[in-house]
Amino acid sequence: MMDEDSRNDRKRSLELLWRAKDSNDPSAIAEFEPDWTAVEVAVSNTFHAGGFARLNIDPPDGGWLIVLAMDAAPGYCRLTLSTNDADRKFRFLEWANGTPDLEPVVLLDHPWKSQTICYEFDAALSAFRRVFDNPDLIFEDVSEFKSPWLP
């Protein structure tokens, strides 16, 4: 786990943007340099109620990873990464540890391959924790994310 001093020494900063569907506030919540508790609350509220959460890495051109995104319905979500990869096929990656070969799952009015749907809160939280602890992750660090353009 990264302590406060090491978080302050890193060159890239984080911005958390989220909104859970059960919120009375119509606007999203944005926090610059959030602490882990704020990220955990955002992921939990979003995963359990539906909504979205984004962990943006700033500056976006400072490394490989740009954004970890979660779009959720109550109890399940899609996790995606946006990157600065030199190969365009790896600039958008989707979490792909779900159950393959089931019927498509509808999320946000769009049918998605069942393999790209996460039903495990701990898996979603773990993805956010890894990015929070190390925003300078590289492709080899995110093996559960795959390019939709490759088999």
Mean pLDDT, the chain, integer: 88
Q: Give 26's pLDDT tier (boundaries 50, 70, 90).
A: confident
Q: What are phi and psi of 56, to 5 degrees?
A: -90, 135
The H-or-E segment that residue 69 falls in is strand 65-73
pLDDT for residue 60: 65
Whether the ω angle into residue 59 lies within 30 degrees of 0, i.e. cis, is yes
Decide if 151 is inside a domain.
Answer: no
pLDDT for residue 7: 42
Decide if 108 is inside a domain.
Answer: yes
Q: Give the tens place of pLDDT for each residue, 97-127.
A: 888 877 888 898 889 989 999 999 999 999 9
Q: Give 70's pLDDT tier (boundaries 50, 70, 90).
A: very high
The H-or-E segment that residue 135 falls in is none
Q: Give the tens place of pLDDT for each residue, 49-67.
A: 999 999 999 876 678 999 9
Decide if 10 is inside a domain.
Answer: yes
Decide if 35 is inside a domain.
Answer: yes
The pTM for the full model equals 0.87
Decide if 45 is inside a domain.
Answer: yes
93 in Cβ contact with 20 (< 8 Å): no
- In the chain, how many domains are there? 1
**Domain assignment of residue 98, given as a range:** 4-146
pLDDT for residue 18: 95
